[in-house]
Amino acid sequence: KAGVTQTPRYLIKTRGQQVTLSCSPISGHRSVSWYQQTPGQGLQFLFEYFSETQRNKGNFPGRFSGRQFSNSRSEMNVSTLELGDSALYLCASSLARDRGNGYTFGSGTRLTVV
């Protein structure tokens, strides 16, 4: 079956712009989480969605937001981009009742802010 699909793979944006990243989970997975990976801060949790509702949120400013659609696809949005937002953004999906079995990750979107 298809894995977790993230689009686009690469993105270059200018400081002050906004960006939307997309994630399609594995079919049947209704829980979608987002993580930010940077060399300095490592992997940090952004938020998790289930049934179109944000269930959990990490310690990020309000410029970072997300949503989930009825087909479980998720988007995250970053407004007023800063240079420090340059990172690999990873999406992960799981069966909501089975997260102890681990999440399946996508290959990420590499965002560069210039």
* Smallest separation, CB 7 to another protein (Å): 14
Nearer residue to another protein within complex by CB, 33 or 68: 33
| Cα separation, 84 vs 61, whole angstroms | 12
How many residues comprise the chain?
A: 114
Q: Is 102 in the site for another protein (CB under 8 A)?
A: yes
* Four-point Cα dihedral 62, 58, 77, 36, nearest 10: 130
Q: Is 30 in the site for another protein (CB under 8 A)?
A: no
Q: Is 48 in the site for another protein (CB under 8 A)?
A: yes
**Residue from 35, 78, 81, 113 in contact with another protein (CB under 8 A):** 35
Residue type, 43: L
Count residues near another protein (CB under 8 A).
Answer: 26
Q: For the chain, how big is the Rg over CA atoms in Å?
A: 13
Q: Is 66 in the site for another protein (CB under 8 A)?
A: no
